[in-house]
């Protein structure tokens, strides 16, 4: 296997990992945001 091909596969794997972590971060942020919104609504109601 040539070095260029190996590097390409490696960078592709790293890119996929970065995409996955960004997705995870977005999910966590949206969960946090909805939780904060619920908390705010609750506090406004009380």
Mean of all residue pLDDT scores within the chain: 91
Cα–Cα distance for residue pair 39/37, rounded to 1 Å: 5
As for how many domains the chain has, the answer is 1
Domain range for 37: 1-46
Q: What pLDDT does residue 46 have?
A: 86
Count of all residues that appear for the chain in the document: 46
DSSP H stretches of helix in the chain: 3-45
Task: Quickly count: other Cβ atoms within 10 Å of residue 1's Cβ.
Answer: 6
Between the CA atoms of 19, 22, 27 and 30, what dihedral angle is there, to the nearest 10 degrees?
Answer: -140
Whether 33 shows a pLDDT value over 80: the answer reads yes
- Is the model's pTM score more than 0.85? no
Angle at 28 between CA 26 and CA 36, to 5 degrees: 110
Mean pLDDT of 10-29: 92
pLDDT of residue 2: 87
């Amino acid at each position: 296997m040539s070095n260029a091909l190996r590097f390409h596969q490696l960078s592709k794997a790293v890119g996929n990992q970065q995409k996955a972590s960004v997705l995870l971060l977005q999910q966590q942020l949206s969960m946090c945001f909805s939780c904060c919104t619920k908390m705010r609504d609750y506090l406004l109601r009380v």
